[in-house]
Amino acid sequence: MGSFPYPRNGILKIDYEFILLFKKQGSPPKPLKENKERSAMTKEEWNTYFSGHWNFAGVKQNGHLAMFPEELPARLIKMFAFYGDTVLDPFLGSGTTSLAARNVGRNSVGYEINEEYIPKINEKLNVYQKDLSGNQYIFLTDNVKSDVNEEIDKLPYIFRDPHKFDKKIDPKKLKFGSKIDKNSKEREEYYSVKEIINSELLRLNNDSVIRLIGVKEKKVNNMEAIQYLMDQLKGQKVFLKFDNEKYDEDNNLLCYIYLKNKTFINAHLQVISK
């Protein structure tokens, strides 16, 4: 509650979650007529379920850390599965989805990676007890120890990333172009240089590595170039400008770098390296 009951440090209660709905393309199997009829929702259910906001209490976290209330899967199952269909929960936890499925007349399959939850699932679903129709849940334990990479290679939809998006600099760390301040004047974003890797590559205070556009390391005057960078950049604030091409083949950001007093470092280095 933070500073309750006084301002200014009260803590906002995030007491809602989003439910994301995804639909599979294609033609689903047709339900039996009688199953379709048994799946009809009342008008009240329909209006409640298909409204944009749901309001019900959470559930006491007893025996599992992240259980949802039965009402949550029960509603979704009634909205999207016919009576007699089979519902899959890939993250079964304590088994709430299966419980809800059973209580609204649907079958279910669940995966749970953590064996420790078996007693909790057992308790919630009373798995070893046959129901009135003689049906019973079963646990199947997967002991296959396969090579994950080999299995991934067999998949038909492997994600390839020719642009190496995951290696690109976090766009929140670095913004391209300049910001406009309230007086409509251009304002630069300032950084400092944490490390001079060589005369072409610098590490900034936000840990991104930048490559200086137009600068080529040459053995003969390399020391002079590095000395120049040390003298100029030590303890200084710098700002960056970018070209159309933003990254080199190693995903280093391609930059022009300037001191706060507008000294253009790349240009001076080019002169030294000639």
> Where along the sequence are the contacts to ligand SAM (CB under 6 A)?
64, 66-68, 91, 93-94, 96, 111-114, 117
Q: Contact at 8 Å (CB) between 76 and 89?
A: no
- Give the residue with the Cβ less far from ligand SAM, 54 or 91: 91
Host H or E run for residue 108? strand 107-110
- Give the residue with the Cβ less far from ligand SAM, 111 or 264: 111
- Give the residue with the Cβ less far from ligand SAM, 39 or 96: 96
Amino acid at 167: K
* Exposure b/e, 143-181, CB count within 10 A at least 16 = b: eeeeeeeeeeeeeeeeeeeeeeeeeebeeeebeeeeeee
* Exposure b/e, 71-103, CB count within 10 A at least 16 = b: ebbbbbbbeebbbebebebeebbbbbbbbbbbe
Shortest Å distance, C-beta 64 to ligand SAM: 5
- Which residues on adjacent β-strands are paired with residue 195? 203
Residue with tokens 């200086």, as numbered in its chain: 212
Shortest Å distance, C-beta 258 to ligand SAM: 48
Shortest Å distance, C-beta 235 to ligand SAM: 48
- Give the residue with the Cβ less far from ligand SAM, 114 or 192: 114
Shortest Å distance, C-beta 227 to ligand SAM: 54
C-beta nearest to ligand SAM: residue = 93
Shortest Å distance, C-beta 243 to ligand SAM: 43
Give 188-191's long-range contacts (Cβ < 8 A, gap of 24+).
188/239, 189/239, 189/240, 190/237, 190/238, 190/239, 190/260, 191/237, 191/238, 191/239, 191/240
- Give the residue with the Cβ less far from ligand SAM, 112 or 200: 112
Shortest Å distance, C-beta 69 to ligand SAM: 8
- Give the residue with the Cβ less far from ligand SAM, 47 or 61: 61
